[in-house]
Amino acid sequence: MSSTSVFTKFAAGLAGAALLSAAFSAQARELSISTVLSDAFPWGQAAEKWAELVEERSEGRLTMRVYPNAQLVAGDQTREFSAMRSGLIDAAVGSTINWSPQVPELNLFSLPFLLPDEAAVDAVTGGAAGETIFAAIESRDVVPLAWGENGFRQLSNSRGAIAAPEDLEGLKIRVVGSPLFQDTFSALGADPTQMSWTDAQPALTTGAVDGQENPLSVFDVARIDQVGQEHLTLWNYMNDPLIFAVNRRVWESLDEADREILREAAVDAGEWEIAMTREQEAERLAAIRERGVEVTELNEAQYQAFVEATESVHQEWVPQIGEALVEAARQAVEAR
């Protein structure tokens, strides 16, 4: 064989390897997204929107598969952040409540009656406090990209109208697995009972617990009034922002262009979901009322009575969350 033939075959081999490498790099990469709720709820729709935008903008180079109902952590939503941090989950649209056991700063949003309205939420997430929280998340090997919103959590029960702290005396209220929630409802004289949402629905049906707290979207879509929750109090006692985030190793494995696609798609999906969630509130409330639920709306004096009844919770939890962070949030709320 001539040296020219050998060179030609060698060059052809190199070209083939280059083409194979290019084809391999062009293959779609699939990332997993964890969410606690399905796309029947705004929360799940936020994850689906993120996936849709990423696939569209990457022209199929990046795809994201959504795993709802916390199925990647066997239904234990409080393990979601740890699983993403360790790399078992690539990405998530997660709750500040569920991630707070691993990121104490996220308890800021669960401080009772800190955030009275949507403008206050936006002032905190969009300001210095929000930046501090994102930095705290990133220090734990998870890269936060954008905010979403699960909404203000309202209170329902099967016993009667709740318009004052004393109306909660002795009521068994299902709460999420956060000590701060336990302390808040204990301060109000209730009997907080921690359980997963899977366990909560049958417990509400049988009367093992008297009430629960959730955003209107969850109350409406899950038809919580059908499990005996005939009384609903609108009290905006805390807001649960959602966070779009990615495992750090996954993030660093992407080139700059794909990182930008992920981030911009998360921001756009978050803004879309926040607007949708807020726009639907009035419609959801009307639908809930039409189903016969008694709705109690607090006046200023009634609201202030709940604020005063939970002051001890702030005194206990502010040092754990970080006094500088809480002060930054309070200043943002006052300046909104």
pLDDT band at 25; cut points 50, 70, 90: very low
Residue 4 resides in a domain: no
Percentage of residues of the chain with pLDDT beyond 90? 88
pLDDT digits (tens, 9 = 90+) for 123-149: 999 999 999 999 999 999 999 999 999
pLDDT digits (tens, 9 = 90+) for 221-262: 999 999 999 999 999 999 999 999 999 999 999 999 999 999
Q: What is the DSSP letter of 249?
A: H
Q: What is the pTM of this model?
A: 0.90
pLDDT digits (tens, 9 = 90+) for 148-191: 999 999 999 999 999 999 999 999 999 998 999 999 999 999 99
- 218 near 113, Cβ under 8 Å? no
321 pLDDT above the threshold of 80 = yes
**Measured in Å, how far apart are the chain's first and last C-alpha atoms?**
81
Task: Write down the H helix ranges in 256-322.
Answer: 256-279, 281-290, 300-309, 311-321
pLDDT digits (tens, 9 = 90+) for 285-294: 999 999 999 9
More confident residue, 26 or 292: 292
Residue 22 resides in a domain: no
Alpha-carbon radius of gyration of the chain: 24
- 89 near 247, Cβ under 8 Å? yes
- Local structure of 66: helix, strand or coil: strand
Report how far residue 244's alpha carbon sits from residue 264's, in angstroms, rounded to the nearest whole number.
11
pLDDT band at 7; cut points 50, 70, 90: very low
Residue 190 belongs to domain spanning: 28-318+325-335
Q: Are strands 191-194 and 239-247 parallel, antiparallel or unpaired?
A: unpaired
Residue 149 resides in a domain: yes
pLDDT band at 9; cut points 50, 70, 90: low
Residue 166 resides in a domain: yes
- List, in order, residues 6 or more apart from 288 with CB less than 8 Å away: 216, 219, 220, 225, 232, 295
Q: Are strands 62-67 and 172-175 parallel, antiparallel or unpaired?
A: unpaired
Residue 221 resides in a domain: yes
Give the per-residue pLDDT at 177.
83
Report how far residue 57's alpha carbon sits from residue 38's, in angstroms, rounded to the nearest whole number.
24
Give the per-residue pLDDT at 5.
53
pLDDT digits (tens, 9 = 90+) for 61-74: 999 999 999 999 99
pLDDT digits (tens, 9 = 90+) for 183-218: 999 999 999 999 888 889 899 999 999 999 999 999
Give the per-residue pLDDT at 203.
95
Mean pLDDT of the 301-316 span: 98
Report how far residue 33's alpha carbon sits from residue 54's, in angstroms, rounded to the nearest whole number.
12
User: HSE on the CB side for 56, CA within 13 Å?
Assistant: 10
- 13 near 37, Cβ under 8 Å? no
Q: Of 2-6, 76-80, 195-199, 213-217, where does mean pLDDT reach its minimum? A: 2-6
> How many domains, in total, are found in the chain?
1
Output the average pLDDT for the chain: 93
Residue 3 resides in a domain: no
Residue 14 resides in a domain: no
Length of the chain: 336
268 pLDDT above the threshold of 60 = yes
- 160 near 179, Cβ under 8 Å? no
Q: Quick one: how far is CA 2 from the chain centroid?
A: 67
Residue 7 resides in a domain: no
Give the per-residue pLDDT at 2.
53
DSSP per-residue codes, 291-304: TT-EEEE--HHHHH
Domain containing residue 187: CATH number: 3.40.190.170
Q: Are strands 142-157 and 231-234 parallel, antiparallel or unpaired?
A: antiparallel
